[in-house]
């Protein structure tokens, strides 16, 4: 029973974190994204989403991100980068909303 309560509390905390920190926000043109790839500081930078909804990301080129949530873009970039890195870990922060 104690484990069920702890699991419930943990789930609520994660849900709150997701809502508060913008994981459900849908990215659009003119948003500025800070994107980091764990262990690869030369890729860490900021990208402005174009009017067409794209960013030009290293190794992947033009990548459509508008209309996606932060979590979906993380998954998309991780999938694309997995051709070049073993278990890539992308982190995204919205630094400016368009």
Q: Report residue 98 as tokens.
A: 């368009």
- Count of Cβ atoms closer than 10 Å to residue 81 Cβ: 21
Phi/psi at 65 (nearest 5 deg)?
-125, -20
- More confident position, 50 or 5: 50
Of 80, 84, 83, 77, which Cα lies nearest the Cα of 35?
77
Least confident interval from 16-25, 41-50, 70-79: 16-25
pLDDT mean over 63-88: 97
Q: What is the pTM of this model?
A: 0.76
Question: 94 pairs with which residues across the strands?
Answer: 33
- Count of Cβ atoms closer than 10 Å to residue 31 Cβ: 21
Domains belonging to the chain, first-starting first, are 26-96 (3.30.1950.10)
């Amino acid at each position: 029973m104690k484990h069920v309560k702890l699991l419930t509390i943990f789930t609520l905390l994660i849900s709150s974190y997701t809502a508060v920190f913008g994981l459900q926000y849908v990215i659009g043109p003119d948003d500025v994204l800070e994107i980091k790839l764990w262990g690869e500081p030369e890729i860490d930078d900021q990208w402005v989403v174009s009017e067409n909804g794209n960013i030009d990301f290293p190794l992947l080129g033009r990548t459509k991100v508008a209309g996606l949530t932060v979590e979906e873009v993380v998954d998309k970039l991780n999938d694309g980068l997995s051709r070049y890195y073993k278990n890539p870990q992308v982190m995204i922060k919205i630094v400016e909303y368009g």
